[in-house]
Every structure is written in C-alpha cells, then in structure tokens.
C-alpha cells in the first residue's frame, strides 16, 4: 500500500498545473530555438548561392586575365595591344580611322576629314541636330 501511495503522490506532483506549465514553457523555448536555426539555415543557403556566383564570376575573370597575360607574354600580343590602345603604326604603314558617327571623332581630327567618303561626294555622316536646331529648321523659309 505504501508503494501505491508513493506512486500516487509522485503522479499528483508530476501532473500538477505548475509542472505542466513549466514543461510547456520549456517546450516553447525549444520550438523557438529550432525555428531560429531553421531560418538561419535558409539564410545560409542564400548566402552560399551568392558566394558560389561570386566565385564563378571571379574564376571567369581570372581565366580572362590569364589569357590576357599569356597573350602579352608574346611579341605579337604586345604589338597588338599597343596598336589597339594607342593607334600607332610601323614606319611605312598608315592608320585609317573609320567612325560611325561624327561625334565619335578623335580629339585631333575633324568630323569630315576623318571619315572615308563613299565615292559620291558625301562624307557618310551628317552633323547632329539638337532640339532647338530642329525647331529653327522647321521655321526656316
């Protein structure tokens, strides 16, 4: 009978409202901690994908730079780079600059002299007109 009373007393203590509220609070704390870990896991997946994209971009940039350096290690590569950047020519060669628009002229060349003519007397480009020039042309007789 003594054992029965002790078990009953233990059950009564374990199922008391205070113990149940305490266990619910502990359960809530664990659920909140688990939810926070789940959210951080999602954020870390996003950061991982961003880091992988940056790594791919950096790898492609590195490959492009390695190709540029390899080209510059040869005499032809250096010559090609100098010719493209500075518009220089060897003695006896001439440089021809072909421009699409008159506004793309180099600093020392005029718009009509630097364009190659089409053979019919035209220069291939007309002077650009602004808004007010168009209005003025409209009212001209």
DSSP string for 112-134:
TTSSPP-SSS--S------HHHH
- pLDDT per position in the chain (141 positions), as tens? 678 888 888 888 888 999 999 999 999 999 999 999 999 999 999 999 999 999 999 999 999 999 999 989 999 988 888 888 887 878 888 767 788 876 655 554 444 444 444 444 444 445 567 888 888 888 876
Contact of 72 with 81, CB cutoff 8 Å: yes
What are the CA-CA distances from residue 34 to residues 20, 37, 39, 44, 62 (Å)? Answer: 21, 5, 9, 15, 41
Q: Which residues contact 123 (CB under 8 A, 6 or more apart)?
A: 111, 112, 115, 117
Structure token pair of residue 45: 């997946």
Any idea where the domains of the chain sit in the sequence? 19-105
Regarding pTM above 0.85, the answer is no
Residue 88: per-residue pLDDT: 80
């Amino acid at each position: 009978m003594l054992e029965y009373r002790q078990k009953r007393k233990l059950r009564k203590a374990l199922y008391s409202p205070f113990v149940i509220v305490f266990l619910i609070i502990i359960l809530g704390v664990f659920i909140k901690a688990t939810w926070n870990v789940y959210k951080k896991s999602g954020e870390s997946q996003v950061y991982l994908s961003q880091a992988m994209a940056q790594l791919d971009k950096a790898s492609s940039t590195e490959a492009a730079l390695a190709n540029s350096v390899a080209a510059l290690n040869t005499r032809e590569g250096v010559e090609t780079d100098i010719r493209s950047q500075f518009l220089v020519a060897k003695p006896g060669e001439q440089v021809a600059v072909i421009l699409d628009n008159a506004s793309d002229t180099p600093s020392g060349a005029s718009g009509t002299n630097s364009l190659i003519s089409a053979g019919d007397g035209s220069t291939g480009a007309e002077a650009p007109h602004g808004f007010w020039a168009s209005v003025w042309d409209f009212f001209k007789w």
